[in-house]
């Protein structure tokens, strides 16, 4: 599969954020899904998380406030369900999963404690 494009943050909060992207521009008879890899910028070599989805939008939760994360996404093709295969196919072993390359890294910072508090305060206007 080709690379996904236009990976961006749609919404950033204190402990979560929502990512959106454009699906790869190629016709493919297999199902395309996505693997999102992310980690704290300062912890690159120590720990990372991955999530998979078939959608072009995902909410990532349980993040630390005021922390910079790096996100990478890659498409992968999974074999079509057996009910969609032609009757002439006699192969009993499933096709391998075909992974595409990762997108360019996207760095995003969750809102900190103070940013969240100040964004919730609305000015009060008193007319006398």
Q: What pLDDT digit, counting tens, does each position of 22-65 carry?
A: 988 765 557 889 999 999 998 877 889 999 999 999 999 999 99
What residues contact residue 26 under an 8 Å CB cut-off, 6+ apart? 1, 2
Establish if 128 belongs to a structural domain.
no
Establish if 124 belongs to a structural domain.
no
How confident is the model over 105-126, as a mean pLDDT? 72
The whole model's pTM is what? 0.74
Give the total number of structural domains in the chain: 1
| Structural domain harbouring 26 | 5-81+92-119
Establish if 57 belongs to a structural domain.
yes
Q: What pLDDT digit, counting tens, does each position of 62-89 carry?
A: 999 999 999 999 999 877 665 444 544 5
E strands, the chain, where? Answer: 5-12, 17-22, 31-40, 49-53, 57-60, 68-78, 98-99, 106-109
Establish if 125 belongs to a structural domain.
no
Q: Answer whether residue 116 shows pLDDT above 70.
A: no
């Amino acid at each position: 599969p080709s690379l996904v494009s236009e990976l961006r943050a749609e919404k950033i909060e204190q402990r979560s954020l929502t990512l959106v992207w454009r699906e790869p521009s190629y016709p493919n008879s297999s199902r395309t899904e996505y693997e999102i890899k992310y980690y704290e910028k300062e912890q690159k070599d120590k720990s990372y998380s991955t999530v998979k989805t078939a959608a072009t939008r995902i909410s990532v939760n349980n993040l630390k406030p005021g922390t910079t994360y790096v996100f990478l996404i890659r498409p992968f093709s999974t074999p079509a369900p057996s009910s969609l295969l032609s009757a002439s196919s006699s192969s009993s072993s499933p096709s391998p999963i075909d992974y595409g390359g990762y997108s360019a890294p996207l760095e995003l910072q969750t809102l900190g404690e103070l940013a969240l508090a100040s964004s919730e305060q609305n000015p009060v206007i008193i007319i006398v």
